[in-house]
Chains A and B, each alone.
Chain A
Amino acid sequence: MLKRLIQKDSIEFDASTAAALRKLAFILLTLVLFITTTYALPILTRFRPWVPGEAVPLARLFQPYDSSLLPAFAEAAALAAPDQDANRRKSRERESKVKDKAGSPAARTRIAPEEIEGLTQQIEDPEGRALAPFYQALLRTAERRSKAITRVAHFGDSAVAADSITVTVRRRMQKRFGDAGHGFILIARGQMHYYHMDIRHRASDDWQLYPIVLLSLGTDWYGYGGVQFRSAPGSWARFATSDRGEVGGRASRFEIFYQIYPGGGKLIAKLDEQPPVAIDTRGPQKQDAWFTLETSDGPHKLSLRTDGRAPVRLYGVALERETPGVVYDSLGMVGGRAERLLAFEREHIQGQLDHRDPDLLILAFGGNEADNRWLDIARYERNLRKVVKHLVVQGNRPACLLFAPLDQAERDERGEIRTIAKLPEIVETQRRVARAQGCAFFDTYQAMGGKDAMKRWYRQRPRLATSDFRHATAAGYERIGDMFYKAILKGFADHLSKGKAAGGSKQPKTSDLPNPKGSN
């Protein structure tokens, strides 16, 4: 067989075939030259056929979802691997110490100093009220009260879309307070650099995506995650609990977020090997709807498939459990800018948030805005206020927090890596808006080291920032997630401490906690 395969024929290239192949090669060379110029000349950026961070062409068609991989920063992660391993070991040792102390419900409401060791930046909440409802919910969860689930909705740009920062915060919070499920995930990722860890997710590539960041539908109904999905005949999506790691391995409830509308088709939902359920999305008028499939607590998989040619409009799926714990919705939008959230039709997004009922809403934008040299800061501030009002209406419900962008840098004319001039202004604006709107504020920019932090993060070995000076590496994002998690714990400890001073019963021992910059 092999012999037959490699048996040579007496065929030679005839002159015309050889000339034709030379011509083809020459034409392709011209095309390659053109493609190269799109990478060399910034003005041609939009014509790049592939952008670093996207999955590798061809390989992506067969790539099974790997929850341990951050594809965008795989190279940097590999660079960082040896030290990361050491860091992880240290981190695990620290966590195991904490776990020993925080195992019982009583201990869960007490923040041990080791838990916030290395705290660099606190959450700014001068009045101490902005996050009170969130901390109250967290306290109930920590006390293991029945069905006490604390939900966080973390909206953001590309730093969130790949679950880069949120994965660390979610894992830490779920390990400490309890894993109440993975939370919300979009139906498909299309061409977006959108990934979620601690869940297995695949979808056909024929879903039509209408992301709010592109204002694809004008002001309309984009769903909780900011993307409306419309099916083609036979479109499918699958979601399964994670088969590795300490969190995300169990679920007892799958909730499908979808839209009913006059032309709606049928959606077939199949949970594990149970008989499929048909969901009719046709209705006399457009309205949001949710369909819940309940099952026993454990590892499960949900398959969705459209039936017939009528398209269904979906928003996403949420995986939850009945057990007390934290659900952390990572709601990233590639290329997201805060003001794009104004394209959520108001009643629709309020309905989505009311239904999801998060205890804390985080807005993590600003990095993409920094690219705009002509950004009108006054207008930005006005719009940001509008966005906060758009999403947070009922007084202090949900609690809100503005999460400042990472340092964004570029090379100046001398080749030095410098913070983009607009960035500090954006951070300050966010701080002002947070105060004015009764939200808390986390200064990621300062947490990274302030001015020119990206340069230092980039030069660090292993690298903590990527060569576009806009994003962190996997190790960098993990560090930011760690800083934010510790800031939450510190805020929680302070909240409990105030509760005690006011006659509350829970008293964390905070006397020996560090008091870093940015404290109240």
Chain B
Amino acid sequence: MLFNSLDYLLFLLLVVGVYWALLRYRALRFAIIFLASCVFYMAWNPAYIILIFFSICVDYIAGRAIFTAGSPRVKKNWLIASVACNLGLLGTFKYFNFFCSATNDIFSLFGFDIPVPYLDVLLPVGISFYTFQSLSYTIDIYRGRLEPTRNFVKFSIFITFFPQLVAGPIVRAVQFLPQLTGPPRLNKEKVGEGLFLIATGLFKKVAIADFLAVNLVDRVFDDPTGYSSLEVLIALYCYTMQMYCDFSGYTDVARGSAMFFGLELPENFNRPYQSTNPAEFWRRWHITLSSWLRDYLYYPLGGSRVKPARAYWNLWFTVFIVGLWHGASWNFVLYGILHASAMAAHRYFYRRAGRTRETVDPTALRISKTAAMFHFTVLSRILFRSTDLPNAVDVGGQLLSGSAFLFHIAPSIWTVLILSYVSHYLPRSWYEQSKRLFVRSPAPLQGIALSGLAILLAAVASRQVVPYIYFQF
């Protein structure tokens, strides 16, 4: 069930309506959200709900066992069981086939062709998101930062809450569970903000991401040899914006939908292409994943409070895992290596120059750093978007071919591309101001504005189904 479908709109309204109608029936209210979340997930593939149930049961039991265990050893064993189960699921369904074929690829370099097993399974939608979310619960209990919930349904809602189930943001139990404790509350500002987020999210997805994908990006990556270097570069700019609008658009709709239940989900993006260096980029892009890996992988590895060589390894390895998290293929291995190396290099030069967080660059330098970081991101996106390495090589080769015609870029693509980048580089305060303006508008005006947006989106919407990019992760 895609967010940009009539089905989701009706589904959301139905669930919100029933939720508030059952305000006085707490248990029933929770049951409805849980049931709705299951239905939402099962619309994709009913069978794979079993995997989520498995994850829920394991972590619910492990969470309670860790909390009540008498000895640190028992606590640790339960934590290991939880981590093994969750990563085992992820490994089996997402990485098993890749590791097998990668092993074969490596052996074939030396002339050996070994038979490798192949697991005939689909990648369950959202598995990378909900396993991480579920893991944060048991780890936080183990660290003593969280008390386990007794309420099984409440815990299930934390894992399956439908607006963020399939593509995040990755919510921590410490952020989410307390919100389910008291009676739900809503106010006019939250309603306005929720609608604004949904509207902007849909606009980003339908009017920008899908438009650019269908009208240029997909065509160029399908057959790069039919386009000039300049066109391939424009397509890469388009893809960079498409990816941001696709994913941040999803997050906006997820956050907006959650607000109607009186719940808050964390922000996931903060204008990432304004970053001046790789570290800043990963603080602004997919924030909940970066911070998850920082807290649950980088810090446990020792973070930067170890010997310099080890600190560099910790940083490199964490960012490499960020890359690999996105997919099981050589593309993402290289993507991870590229970003991890850039991050390590940035830290090296940053320290060597004796810079601190307080160091302020002159405007011109800041602009050139932003441009350089942006182009590093754009070029690394070749690996992200290409279907496999030969495709990436084709796109890269075409980019370097030196041809400069622009036959395939329609005026509408220029318009959407330029406007989207201009809005991305506008100060955040402008966005906040427009949100405030919408939130404070009277209800009829909001309704008319949303109707107007619906007309616009219907006019520009692609007739093809363009799934969210992050659904595949």
Residues of chain A contacted by B465 (CB below 8 angstroms): 190-191, 205-209
Asked whether B191 lies within 8 Å of A311 as measured between CB atoms, the reply is no
Report the Cα distance A38→B424, complex, angstroms. Answer: 33
Select from chain A the residue with minimum beta-carbon distance to B27: A5
Indicate if B179 sits at the interface (CB-CB under 8 A): no
Interface centre among A20, A205, A208, A310 (most CB of B within 10 A): A20
- For this complex, 30 residue pairs linking A to B, each with C-beta atoms less than 8 Å apart, are A7-B26, A13-B23, A16-B186, A16-B187, A17-B184, A17-B185, A20-B186, A21-B186, A26-B447, A27-B446, A30-B444, A31-B450, A31-B451, A33-B447, A46-B459, A57-B6, A190-B464, A191-B463, A205-B465, A206-B471, A209-B464, A209-B465, A210-B464, A233-B472, A234-B122, A236-B122, A261-B222, A265-B387, A276-B120, A309-B327
Asked whether A26 lies within 8 Å of B7 as measured between CB atoms, the reply is no
Report the Cα distance A214→B388, complex, angstroms. Answer: 30
Indicate if A47 sits at the interface (CB-CB under 8 A): yes
Residues of chain B contacted by A232 (CB below 8 angstroms): 467, 472
Asked whether B451 lies within 8 Å of A30 as measured between CB atoms, the reply is yes
- Where the two chains meet, the residues of A that have a C-beta atom closer than 8 Å to any C-beta of B are 4-14, 16-17, 19-21, 23-24, 26-31, 33-34, 46-47, 49-50, 57-58, 60-62, 190-191, 205-210, 214, 216, 230, 232-234, 236, 261-263, 265, 268, 270, 276, 305, 308-311
Among B329, B455, B458, B467, point to the contact of A309 (Cβ < 8 A).
Answer: B329
Report the Cα distance A20→B443, complex, angstroms. Answer: 10
Count CB-based A-B contacts (< 8 Å): 164
Report the Cα distance A35→B83, complex, angstroms. Answer: 49
Residues of chain A contacted by B2 (CB below 8 angstroms): 205
Residues of chain A contacted by B459 (CB below 8 angstroms): 46-47
Given contacts A27-B195, A34-B451, A62-B43, contact A49 B391 (CB under 8 A): no
Smallest beta-carbon distance A333→chain B, Å: 13
Select from chain A the residue with minimum beta-carbon distance to B118: A276
Asked whether A58 lies within 8 Å of B388 as measured between CB atoms, the reply is no
Select from chain A the residue with minimum beta-carbon distance to B458: A47
Asked whether A9 lies within 8 Å of B183 as measured between CB atoms, the reply is yes
Indicate if B418 sits at the interface (CB-CB under 8 A): no
Smallest beta-carbon distance B167→chain A, Å: 14
Residues of chain B contacted by A262 (CB below 8 angstroms): 223, 225, 394
Residues of chain B contacted by A210 (CB below 8 angstroms): 464
Report the Cα distance A17→B195, complex, angstroms. Answer: 16
Select from chain A the residue with minimum beta-carbon distance to B1: A61
Asked whether B223 lies within 8 Å of A263 as measured between CB atoms, the reply is yes
Interface centre among B10, B25, B186, B394 (most CB of A within 10 A): B186
Smallest beta-carbon distance B13→chain A, Å: 7
Indicate if B305 sits at the interface (CB-CB under 8 A): no
Report the Cα distance A230→B217, complex, angstroms. Answer: 14
Given contacts A23-B443, A58-B10, contact A11 B222 (CB under 8 A): no
Residues of chain A contacted by B223 (CB below 8 angstroms): 261-263
Select from chain B the residue with minimum beta-carbon distance to A50: B6
Q: Which of B89-133 touch A at CB < 8 Å?
A: 118, 120, 122-123
Select from chain A the residue with minimum beta-carbon distance to B443: A26
Select from chain B the residue with minimum beta-carbon distance to A17: B186
Indicate if B345 sits at the interface (CB-CB under 8 A): no
Asked whether B443 lies within 8 Å of A30 as measured between CB atoms, the reply is yes
Report the Cα distance A26→B192, complex, angstroms. Answer: 12
- Binary per-residue interface labels of chain B (419-461) against chain A in the complex, 1 for a CB within 8 Å, 0 otherwise: 0000000000000000000000001101110110011001100
- Where the two chains meet, the residues of B that have a C-beta atom closer than 8 Å to any C-beta of A are 1-2, 6-7, 10-11, 13-14, 16, 20, 23-28, 31, 42-43, 118, 120, 122-123, 183-188, 190-192, 195, 218, 221-223, 225, 260, 262, 327, 329, 331, 387-388, 391, 394, 443-444, 446-448, 450-451, 454-455, 458-459, 463-467, 471-472
Asked whether A30 lies within 8 Å of B120 as measured between CB atoms, the reply is no
Interface centre among A7, A24, A207 (most CB of B within 10 A): A24
Residues of chain A contacted by B387 (CB below 8 angstroms): 263, 265, 308-311
Smallest beta-carbon distance B268→chain A, Å: 22
Smallest beta-carbon distance A287→chain B, Å: 14
Report the Cα distance A62→B39, complex, angstroms. Answer: 9
Please list the 9 inter-chain residue pairs (A to B) with the smallest Cβ-Cβ separation, ordered nearest first.
A30-B447, A310-B387, A34-B451, A61-B43, A20-B186, A26-B443, A11-B183, A16-B187, A27-B447
Report the Cα distance A21→B17, complex, angstroms. Answer: 9
Residues of chain B contacted by A34 (CB below 8 angstroms): 447, 451, 454
Residues of chain B contacted by A31 (CB below 8 angstroms): 447, 450-451, 454
Report the Cα distance A46→B454, complex, angstroms. Answer: 12
Asked whether A5 lies within 8 Å of B464 as measured between CB atoms, the reply is no
Asked whether B187 lies within 8 Å of A8 as measured between CB atoms, the reply is no
Asked whether B450 lies within 8 Å of A9 as measured between CB atoms, the reply is no
Given contacts A47-B455, A268-B120, contact A58 B11 (CB under 8 A): yes
Report the Cα distance A216→B464, complex, angstroms. Answer: 9
Report the Cα distance A57→B14, complex, angstroms. Answer: 12
Asked whether B7 lies within 8 Å of A58 as measured between CB atoms, the reply is yes
Residues of chain A contacted by B331 (CB below 8 angstroms): 309
Select from chain B the residue with minimum beta-carbon distance to A26: B443
Residues of chain A contacted by B24 (CB below 8 angstroms): 8-12
Report the Cα distance A305→B7, complex, angstroms. Answer: 25
Report the Cα distance A353→B20, complex, angstroms. Answer: 58
Asked whether B451 lies within 8 Å of A16 as measured between CB atoms, the reply is no
Report the Cα distance A14→B2, complex, angstroms. Answer: 33
Report the Cα distance A309→B123, complex, angstroms. Answer: 12
Given contacts A26-B443, A206-B467, contact A6 B23 (CB under 8 A): no
Report the Cα distance A413→B192, complex, angstroms. Answer: 44
Report the Cα distance A60→B11, complex, angstroms. Answer: 12
Besides the known contacts A4-B27, A190-B465, A305-B122, 14 further A-B residue pairs in the complex with CB atoms under 8 A apart: A11-B26, A17-B185, A20-B188, A20-B191, A23-B191, A27-B443, A28-B447, A191-B463, A205-B2, A206-B467, A208-B218, A208-B464, A261-B223, A263-B221
